[in-house]
Amino acid sequence: MTSSSDIPADRRVLAAFLGVVLIGGVNAIAVKVTVGELAPLWGASVRFIVAGAIMAGIVIVGRRGFPTGRSLTGAAVYGALGFTASYGLLYTALRDTPAGTAMVLIALTPLFTFVLAVLQRQERFRVQGLAGALIALAGVAVVFADQLSANVPLVSLSMVVIGAVAIAQSGVVVKGLPRSDPFGTNAVAMLAGGGLLLGASLVSAEAWSVPAQAETWAAAAYLVVLGSVAMFALYLFALQRWTASAMSYVTLLMPLVTVAGAALLTGERVSVGLLVGAAIVLGGVYVGAFLRVPARAAPAPSVPDCLPWETVVEPGEGGAAGRS
């Protein structure tokens, strides 16, 4: 029997889980607001340099420790993939791509993680994963067709998908690293990724401007404080008390928040085609990365096996909690 003293803790974990879903779901909307005024690479670089500095401060004040040796090199590579490549593409794509559409496509990350982990021999091939990928691919085709009919550029949609692949590969990189403090690893990754984004912005001759609109300031502050630092802390809090499998369901729930929130807050068009395609995509991701078919001679586990978050983040490891 569960004691009464356990209930508040359970409620706190549930609140943290829902907080990750809500904050992560709104992230894409906030990015959409910032790129409406700021150059995309410039805006992304400022976000991660400031968030990385805050994270580094947490490490120093809490005497947690930064990665060293192979872990330090891996954290920098993780930052180049998980922050520079992925967010450089996503911020740029969100100038022309609806936030809800982008988040639906980013939800493919668990399946991309599965494919990349198999190719790099971190995971075994599963027919179920292939089936889920094919289902999700059909959903992507529906989403692409719907968005192209709404004059969303194919290049922008493709950039979102490539960005999701970069996120997936960053997770595979983290899985192969020696364990280190997750705050320290992400501080290094954010600072490295933000610095590379700043360099890319300079090479691209972007304008380094300060926001003139209050809503841009609000969105930028949200992305740094809530969308990067607070969401990561909430994710770790819940992950230490729940399984990685249970926490991984944020991947499926975030797009629901984004689609609904973008429609309410920014008036984004939500078509039948987008909803149908999103349902197929999320169904494919569930089948390929979350659904567990129990072995014939063994009882079913209490929670589903989840490739992306067990692969990307374990207690004590680095890894980004949520995206966009």
Residue type, 24: G
Examine the pLDDT at 321 and tell me if it is beyond 80.
no
| pLDDT 10s digits, 69-89 | 999 999 999 999 999 999 999
Q: In which band, very low, low, confident or very high, does the pLDDT at 124 lie, cut at 50, 70 and 90? A: confident
Q: What is the DSSP string of 109-123?
A: HHHHHHHHHHHTTSS
- CA-based nearest residue to 25, from 191, 209, 264: 264
Structure tokens at 279: 């349902």
**Looking at residue 96, what is its pLDDT?**
96
Lowest mean pLDDT segment, chosen from 22-26, 176-180, 211-215: 176-180
Domain ranges of the chain: 6-312
Q: In which band, very low, low, confident or very high, does the pLDDT at 2 lie, cut at 50, 70 and 90? A: very low
Cβ neighbours of 277 (radius 10 Å): 24
Query: What mean pLDDT is reported for the chain?
Result: 87
Q: How far apart are the C-alpha atoms of 137 and 143, rounded to whole Å?
A: 10
Q: How far apart are the C-alpha atoms of 275 and 256, rounded to whole Å?
A: 10
Q: In which band, very low, low, confident or very high, does the pLDDT at 25 lie, cut at 50, 70 and 90? A: very high
**Looking at residue 310, what is its pLDDT?**
34
| pLDDT 10s digits, 31-61 | 999 999 999 999 999 999 999 999 999 999 9
In SS3 terms, 30-79 reads as HHHHHCCCCCHHHHHHHHHHHHHHHHHHHHHHCCCCCCCHHHHHHHHHHH
Find out whether 31 and 156 touch, Cβ atoms under 8 Å.
no
Give mean pLDDT, residues 108-119: 90
Examine the pLDDT at 5 and tell me if it is beyond 50.
no
Q: To the nearest 10°, the Cα dihedral for 269, 272, 277, 283?
A: 110
Nearby residues of 19 by Cβ (< 8 Å), 6 or more positions away: 230, 231, 234
Q: How far apart are the C-alpha atoms of 241 and 252, rounded to whole Å?
A: 20
Give mean pLDDT, residues 163-177: 90
| pLDDT 10s digits, 125-153 | 888 888 999 999 999 999 999 999 999 99
Cβ neighbours of 238 (radius 10 Å): 22
Q: In which band, very low, low, confident or very high, does the pLDDT at 319 lie, cut at 50, 70 and 90? A: very low
pTM assigned to the model: 0.85
Find out whether 139 and 279 touch, Cβ atoms under 8 Å.
yes
Q: Dihedral of CA 89/95/96/102: which sign?
A: positive
Examine the pLDDT at 175 and tell me if it is beyond 80.
yes
Examine the pLDDT at 192 and tell me if it is beyond 50.
yes
Examine the pLDDT at 297 and tell me if it is beyond 90.
no
Give mean pLDDT, residues 228-247: 86
**Looking at residue 318, what is its pLDDT?**
42
Q: How far is CA 119 from the centre of its chain?
A: 21
